[in-house]
Amino acid sequence: MDLSTLQQLLTRLSGARIVCVGDLMVDRFVYGEVTRVSPEAPIPVLARERELVMLGGAGNVARNVAALGGDVALVGLIGTDPESHEALRLIGDKTGIEGFLVPDADRPTTLKTRFVSGGQQLLRVDLEASKPATGEVEKRLVRTVREVAEGAGAILLSDYGKGVVTDAVIAAVRAVGVPVIVDSKARNFLRYGAVDVIKPNASELAHATGLPTGSNDEIEAALAQALSLCEAKAILVTRASKGITLAVRGEPVRHFPTSAREVFDASGAGDTALAALGLALAAGTPVEDAIAFAMLASGVAVGKAGTATVLPEELIEASLTAHMAPAEGKIVTPQRMTDEIARWRAKGLRVGFTNGCFDILHRGHVTYLNQARSWCDRLVVGLNSDRSVRALKGEGRPVNDLEGRAMVLAGLGAVDLVVPFDEDTPIKLIEAARPEVLIKGADYSEDQVVGGDLVKGWGGEVRLAQIVDGYSTTAAIARMTAKEPT
């Protein structure tokens, strides 16, 4: 999706009304560090550091609709337990979400607790009751759907099989007369009737049809089987790194490949895709653009920790980055740097930082940067602006402007991010990055390294990289001008 189309779509989405009906969950993430094995049993001991609580399931769909600028009415079930109060508090904290939750004393509020260390889930503990709503509870769900659906552009059914999406609720949703998009974990797609779109992922499609879904040919065969087994107008299957495939009844199957992205955490990426697709279709967007929008949004979501939401500005940034060369994508602002470092650190990666003018890149620079990268998992390079280079080196410098120097640095495999700065020292970048290791050349002593005391203060270290004799930018300039270096 090009930037102009994306910006126009985001404008149309602002204030669009969506109804989300489905299985609400509370997602709790407990983060910590594992450094030893329990003496009581062969299990890791997690030293708890922090905890995050957020809406999951249908709640995460609603969060994503609101984050993208829509207004959403969330219909679901909660228990009468402490977790129900947590769910109501989380909804109240989110602008753009109205909660219409029906209490059911006979079930707990669904709670999923994940224990995470080094970016990996160690264990998930579920508190739930997977049984259909019945009696007065089901009747209240149906009445609620009818009451809140006025003015909605689309209804999203988020069916995790926990009991909200009963036959009566499906009938009430279909009777509203607006597009209905279903995200289903069920094996039987027939129960949804003639909805507009059913959106399984590849493994859910395989589960529903009993057919393999690896290749394009296998996906097409499975979609043909799925359409023969249900009344849906279309089935859209999300295929992770392989993109999205759409089968509209009576039309040829279409494949929409996606750009490869680093996957940090796939939790909730399907919810993001459902929210983006529903909002786009509700705004009257052509299906091709709606799918491109959903792919862009879910691609951003998988680069985040937990059941994350996606903001419009992140989509704009992702669209810009997608049209850049790989090297260009490494040149970032200080804010982008801190965002990237937060993602790296959540994975347990060690961050290094160095800085310099890097005017005429030579063998000495490459050796230096390779050594710096060997001391960390990700290397950030602070790059002096043209003004600050002149302040340090005098008139006539730099030989190469900031853009050229940044592009050459970003093209090196040892460099993960390049962050230009205009100050005389990189101290602000160092404070923002909080690197585990600060690197400077061995022509400095440790007490001369700017920011060294700060880094040591938060438990990091200062490392001095070797200097290759006979290589310097000053000497190179002198040779080019047939002058001896001063």
| Tens-place pLDDT, residues 178-219 | 999 999 888 899 999 999 999 999 999 999 999 999 999 999
Distance CA 111, CA 129 (A): 10
Its pTM surpasses 0.75: no
The pLDDT assigned to 280 comes to: 92
The pLDDT assigned to 337 comes to: 93
Q: Is-catalytic flag, 271?
A: yes
The pLDDT assigned to 185 comes to: 86
Run means of pLDDT, 10 residues per run, the chain, 486 residues: 82 91 95 93 94 92 93 96 95 91 96 91 94 96 96 95 96 95 90 95 93 95 96 91 90 82 56 91 88 87 69 80 69 90 87 92 89 95 92 85 90 93 93 95 89 94 81 54 48
The pLDDT assigned to 154 comes to: 95
Q: What is the CA radius of gyration of the chain?
A: 27
Over residues 85-102, the pLDDT tens digits come to 999 999 998 889 999 999
Phi-psi category of residue 128: left, alpha or beta, with phi > 0 → left and psi -120 to 50 → alpha = beta
Amino acid letter, 177: G
The edge-to-edge listing of strands for the beta sheet with 417-421 is 417-421, 378-384, 351-356, 437-441, 461-465
The pLDDT assigned to 469 comes to: 57
> Which position among 159, 183, 271, 416 bears the catalytic label?
271
